[in-house]
Structure 1
Amino acid sequence: MVTLLRSVWHEPRPANVPPVGRLDWILVGLFEVAAVAEGMFRPDVTWRPFVTLIAMVLMPVLLWRRSHPLVAAVLGWSLAGLLSVLTLATHVGDLGLTSMLAVLILLYALVRWGAGREIVVGAAFVAAVAALGMCAADVGWPDVFGGSVLLLLICALAAVFRYRADLWDRQQREVRNQERVALARELHDIVAHHVSAIAVQAQAGGVLAAVQPEKAAEVLAAIESEASLTLGEMRSMVRLLREEEPVDYAPPMGLADLPALVRADSPPRVDVAVDPSLTGISGPVDAALYRLAQESLTNARRHARDTTRVRIDVRRVGGAVRLRVSDDGRTEPGAAPTPGFGLRGMAERAQLLGGSFSAGPGPAGGWVVEAVLPLDPPA
C-alpha cells in the first residue's frame, strides 16, 4: 500500500490537457438551468433560494476541472460540505439539489487530469466531505456502502481513461521514434551516395588537372552540382525531423529512378536492368528497392577495389521481387562484409517489409548484394 501511494504521489500530470471549449460552456449552462429549475419546482428542499445560489456558484467551477483539477475539486466539494455542515448544525430538512451531483465530475477530473500529489490530497478531502455528508443525511450502512462504491467506480473509470491516454501517447512517441530512425536511414543513404560521387569526382579531378587542365573546370562543376544536391536533400530531411515546421512532401524515389544512378562521367560503369513486368508494385517496396540499389552502388564505389562495372538487376521471382547488385572488383579470400550502418540499414529495410537481405563475395569475384522483397508486404 505504501509503495502504491508513493508511486501515485510522484505521478506527473498528463500531457496535452484540452483547453476549455464550447462543449464545456454548454455543460455548465445545462447544469445552471437544472439548478434553477430544481430551485423553482422542488418545494421539499429547505432554504431553496440559498441552496439554489450555492448550486449556481458551483457550476462554473467545472470549467477549471482540467486546468486546475485540485482547486476545482476542493472548491466544489467544499460547497457540498458547507451544506452538510448546515444540515448538522440546524437539523433542518433536505438541503441538497440533484444538480449538485456535478461534484462527481470534479472527482473524475481530479483523477483523470491531476498530478499524483493532487490526486492524493484531493481524494482525501473528497473522502472526508463524503463521510460528513453521509453523517448529515443519517443514512444506513447499505447507503454508505453504495455511495462509497460509486465514488470508487468514478475514480476507477477516470484511472482507466488516464491509462489509455498515457498508452496512446507512448505509442505515438514510439511511432515518432521509428519515423526518426527511418529518416536517419534515408539521410545516411542520400548523403553517402552523393558524397561518394563527390569523392570519385575529386579523385578524377586530381588526375585530370595534371594531364588535361581544361577538364578540371568540368570536374569542379560536377562536384559543385553534387554538393548542392546533397545540401538540398539534407535540408529537406532535417525539416522532416522538426515537427513544428510544415514540409511539402515529395514522392519518394523508386524503380523508375534507377537509371538516374548511371553516371557516364565517373567510374565505375553502371548497368541497370529492370524486369518490365514489375509494374504497380506497392510504394514502400518501390522506395526500398531504390534505396537498397543506391546504397549498394555507394558501397561499391567507396569500398570495392579496382571496380570497373556495377550491375543492378531487378527481377520478379514468383510473388516477390529480387534486387541483385554485383560488381567486378577484387576481393580477398575469406573476406566478409563489415556490418556498418549502411549494411544494417539495408537489412532493416528488407526485414521491415518481410523480405530477406544478404551481402558478401560473389562466386565469380566481386561483391554481391541481394534483397528479396514481397510484392505485397505485410501492413
Structure 2
Amino acid sequence: MKQFLAFVRKEFYHVLRDRRTLLILFGMPIAQILIFGFALTNEVKDSEILVVDYARDDASQALLTRIGASRYFDIRQAALSHKEILGTFQKGKIKAVVVFPANFNADLLHTNKAQVQIVTDASDVNTANMITNYLSSIILDYQNQLNENLQMPYRITPEVRMLYNPQLKGAHGFVPGVMALVLLLVSVMMTAISIVREKETGTMEILLVSPFKPVLVIFAKAFPYLALSLVNVTAILLLSVFVLDLPVKGSVGLLFAESTLFIITCLALGIFISIKTDSQQIAMLISLMGMLLPTMMFSGFLFPIENVPVPLQIISNIVPSKWFYIIVKSIMIKGLGLSALWKETLILLGMTVFLLLVSLKSFKIRLQ
C-alpha cells in the first residue's frame, strides 16, 4: 500500500508541475462550460428587431410595449419603405422586422381582425423560427387579453406546460452534455498520454522491473486523474448553479457517485488505448477524434438520437457518454434517484469491467 501511495504521489507531482497539463485539466472544462452555457444555446436573447409602425395608435403601442418588455428582443423603431427593409436585412444587423399597417386599431375595433407582418432573415432557419414563435406567442397573448370581455362561441385555448424547463433555457441541455464531453476527453486523453509517455521515454521499463506489481503501476498513474476529474465535476457544478442558474434538483451525492463511475470508465478506456498504442501522437489522435465526434453525435445533447438512422442508433449504445448524459440530466433537471437510473448505471459498470478485463489481458509486462 505504501508503494502504491508513493507512485500516486509521484504522479501527482508530475501532473501539478506541468502547466500545459493543468491547462487541459482545468482550463478546458471551465472554458467549455462557459462557451456552451452562454454562446451555444438554442435560446434567442436580445435579438435586434426593427419595428415599422404605420399605425401609431393605441393598439400598436400596447403590443410594442409587450414585445419590448420581453428579454428576447432589442427593439429599434424606424419609418422605412419595403425596399429599405430589404436593404436593412442585407446588412445583416437585423434579425426580424415587425410591420404594423395603417389603421391597425381601427381594423381591430370595426372588423375584429387586424394583420401584423413579421419578416425574418431565414438564412438562419433556427433563429428565424425561434423569433417567429416568440413574436407569435406575444401577439396571441395580447389577443387573448382583448378577448377576455368578449363572448366568443367555440373558443378553444390550449394550455401548454413545459416540465422541468418551463423557461426553455439552453443550459438545461448543454450542461449535462458538457460534463460528459469534458470528463470523457480529459480522463481518456490524459491517462492514455501519460502512460504512453513512459513508453517513449523508456521509464516504463524501469517501472515494470521494479518490485511494484506492473498492474498497480498503471492504476497508480490513473488515480490522480480520477481525483482531478472530480475537482472538475465540482467546478462545473458550481458554475452551473451560480453562473448558469441551473440548480441540482436531485441528490448531489448520487451525482458525484455516478460521475466517479463514469470517470473510472473513461480511465479504463484511456488505459486500453495506452496499451494498444506506442506514441503520444497516436494516443492523442484516438482520444480526441475517436472520442469527441461520437460524444457530440451520439450522446444526444446536440442532436436527438432518434433522428439518426437505426444502425447508428445501435452504435450509440456503446458510447459511454450517452448513458452518463442521461444520468446527469435525470439527476440535475428531473431530480430522479438511483431507482430510475439503475439500468444506465449497470451499463456503465459493465463497460468499466469489460474495458479493465480486456486491458489487463492485453497488458504485456515486457515491452519488447
Common fold: TM-score over 0.5: no
Taking structure 1 as the reference length, the TM-score comes to: 0.28
Task: Mark the structure with the bigger radius of gyration.
Answer: 1
Choose between structure 1 and 2: higher strand proportion: 1
Compare relative contact order (CA 8 Å, sep 6+) and give the higher one, 1 or 2. 2
